[in-house]
Amino acid sequence: MNAGSAEFSLVVEGVTGRCAAGEAYAKQNIAARKIPVLACEGPCIRGEIARLAANRVARELPSHARACHAETFFVPHSAMARWVREAERVVMIDGCFLKCHGRVLQGLVAKERIVHIDALPLHRKYSDVFLMDDVAEDERTEVARRVADQIVATLQHG
Ligand code: SF4
């Protein structure tokens, strides 16, 4: 039997202040109308592959730039959050079928503006590995490169 969770919400403690570097970076990307690329991130190898692939996608597509999912989700008054909320399109690369970050993003951005990618079927590896450190760095880089190439091709061809 598959386990599951019904829709739920979290109460998050409020926060004061802004990250100066994040504000400047996000404002620059808002002005340049860049498409934010978010990823779930390690220490899980699947999240790490998603993170590395997202970095590469943003480097290879000049119309895109990496956005910070945590600042987007947890600092709602930040320019990072505004950039993601107001972008015409948002690319979300999750590490596996659980789609953790994309499920949160759907509460902030209309579903039709999200390109939501599950990276796992793009490499089909590591079903029995958790920690990213259990996979050699060269291999992580190579797998992420192959995942990113497929995502770039998908984004370029709509
Ligand atoms: S989507 Fe998968 S890899 Fe990403 S945080 Fe959730 S469980 Fe981890």
pLDDT in tens, the chain (158 residues): 579 999 999 999 999 999 999 999 999 999 999 999 999 987 999 999 999 999 999 999 999 999 999 999 999 999 999 999 999 999 999 999 999 999 999 999 999 999 999 999 999 999 899 999 999 999 999 999 999 999 999 999 87
- Give residue 42 CA to ligand 1 midpoint distance, Å: 8
Cα(126)–Cα(128) distance, integer angstroms:
5
Ligand 1 and 47: CB distance under 6 A: yes
Ligand 1 contact, 71 CB (< 6 A):
no
Give dist(CA 143, CA 41) in Å, integer.
Answer: 15
Q: Is the CB of 46 under 6 A from ligand 1?
A: yes
Alpha helix ranges (H) inside the chain: 20-31, 45-60, 69-74, 79-86, 100-105, 120-123, 137-156
pTM, two decimal places: 0.96
Handedness of CA 56, 145, 109, 8 (dihedral sign): negative
Task: Please tell me the residue having the least CA distance from ligand 1 atom 8.
Answer: 47
Is residue 95 in contact with ligand 1, taking CB distance under 6 Å? Answer: yes
